Amino acid sequence: MTALFATDFFWETWPWWADTIFRLIFAIVAVLLPAGATVYLYLFKMVSFMQSRLGPMEAGPYGSMQLLAEVGKNLQKEDIFPARADRTVFAMAPYVVLLSTFLLAVVIPFGPEATFIDLDTGVYFALAVSSVSVIGILMAGWASASKYSLLGGLRAAGQLIAYELPLILAVVGVVIQAGTLNLQDIVTAQNQQEIFGWGAIGNPFILTQMLGFIIFLIAVQAELTQVPFDMPIAESELVSGYMTEYSGFRFLMFFIAEFATANIFAFLGATLFLGGWSVPPFLTDLLGIAWDSPIMNLVGPFVMLTKMLLLTFIFYWVRFTYPRFREDQLQKFAWKVLIPLSLMNIAITAVFKVVF
């Protein structure tokens, strides 16, 4: 199988449209499969256990088909437009949010060659397209012609803009250390760099960029509008914020986008801080293969999946433990705590980069 992928013959006879279709299918799998997995594993089961209940048990063995049931339920529902909604914008908003999720996924490398696009400015691209969802959320909030949605949309806009900055600044430390904006190269850097001459586990940036990693996680939690930063949704205040008026399929798209984006950000976090698809060098040395041997194209996605599950576990753990901030407290936290800290992180990283 790997041999087949490795031959030039295969790639030359592979028509361009087949490649496109292959990538498209893989993109959908890469986005939806982990989303389904985390929703079932964490949202349905882990959280249920944390809350001393069983979670779904009826659909399929141990409730494993619950997600399909949810999808089926939502697909059957009437597609309701509020009376005074701006119908076009209202209908488009979920697609824009979902689009941001898929755009985010395209730069994530899953193996030495298993990438959708290998952009030189991958980090930059990822952080840029992640903000596209703000537009979708604002559109949803505005077009719903509901005051709750409007408030939710406005809160989301304010919040996502405030947390874009710490998110970017937290990643800048990684970029400085790796010396590149290319996500694939960042993975390479983490695998190939050594910690004071000891290279058995490479140099996953979580070790040197611990502060950046924590800021990244906090900012991602805010980007995802999850507790403790879920004011745009805020069930007890704004009912469901910008999603209040959505039902059926369109709600489902928001739902998918919400959880898929969580996974994609976890993928991004894994790539930036946990060494991406690569395994520690001592393992590949043990097996006697190169760290970027073609087999990693198959192993890589599973390595990523593992790391992603680890990070999403933290997301959901926090999500179901903490109360939520108030809007002004969140802004204060972003501007007065996270941004100075991340700037400090950049300065320290830069100094160390020059010194060593």
Partner 1 sequence: MTAVSDRRQLAYIAAQAADARVNVELEAEGMTLNIGPQHPATHGTLRIVARLDGEQVIEADPIMGYMHRGYEKLAEVRTYPQVTTLINRIDWLGSFANEVPFILAAEQLMDIEAPPRAQHIRTILFEMARIANLTLFLGDMGVQLGAVTPVFYAFRDREHILNQIEAATGGRFHPNFDRIGGLKDDLPAGWVAETKESLGHITKFCNLMDDLLIGNEIFEARTRGIGVVPADVALSYGLSGANVRASGVDWDLRRDNPVGLAYDKVDWKVWTHPDGDSFARYWVRLQEVRESVKIVEQLLDTIPSGPIMAKVPRIIKVPEGEAYVETENPLGVMGYYVVSKGGLNPFRVKIRSASFSNMSITPWLLKGTYVPDVITILASLYFILGDIDR
The residues that touch partner 1, with contacts defined as CB under 8 A, are 50-53, 83-84, 147-148, 151, 227-228, 230-231, 234-239, 320-329
> Rounded to the nearest whole angstrom, what is the least distance from the CB of residue 347 to partner 1 in the complex?
27
Phi, psi of 279 (to 5 degrees): -105, 155
Q: CA 215 → CA 13, 64, 86, distances in Å? A: 46, 34, 37
User: Nearer to partner 1 by C-beta: 44 or 325?
Assistant: 325
Token duo for residue 224: 């995802």
User: Nearer to partner 1 by C-beta: 326 or 336?
Assistant: 326
Say which residues have a Cβ less than 8 Å from residue 245's Cβ, sequence separation at least 6. 80, 82, 85, 90, 144, 145, 146, 149
> Rounded to the nearest whole angstrom, what is the least distance from the CB of residue 71 to partner 1 in the complex?
23
Q: List, as one string, the DSSP characters of 276-323.
A: TTPPPHHHHHHHT--TT-TTHHHHHHHHHHHHHHHHHHHHHHHHTTPP
User: Nearer to partner 1 by C-beta: 152 or 269?
Assistant: 152
User: Nearer to partner 1 by C-beta: 135 or 239?
Assistant: 239
> Rounded to the nearest whole angstrom, what is the least distance from the CB of residue 53 to partner 1 in the complex?
6
User: Nearer to partner 1 by C-beta: 191 or 225?
Assistant: 225
Which residue type is seen at 109? P
> Rounded to the nearest whole angstrom, what is the least distance from the CB of residue 68 to partner 1 in the complex?
24
> Coil, strand or helix: which one is 198?
strand
Identify the residue whose tokens are 């576990």.
Answer: 313
User: Nearer to partner 1 by C-beta: 171 or 218?
Assistant: 218
Distance CA 206, CA 283 (A): 19
> Rounded to the nearest whole angstrom, what is the least distance from the CB of residue 259 to partner 1 in the complex?
16
Contact, 131 vs 160, CB < 8 A?
A: yes
Q: List, as one string, the DSSP characters of 241-281.
A: GGGTT--HHHHHHHHHHHHHHHHHHHHHHHHHHS-TTPPPH
User: Nearer to partner 1 by C-beta: 8 or 328?
Assistant: 328
User: Nearer to partner 1 by C-beta: 13 or 52?
Assistant: 52
Contact, 341 vs 172, CB < 8 A?
A: no
Distance CA 21, CA 338 (A): 41
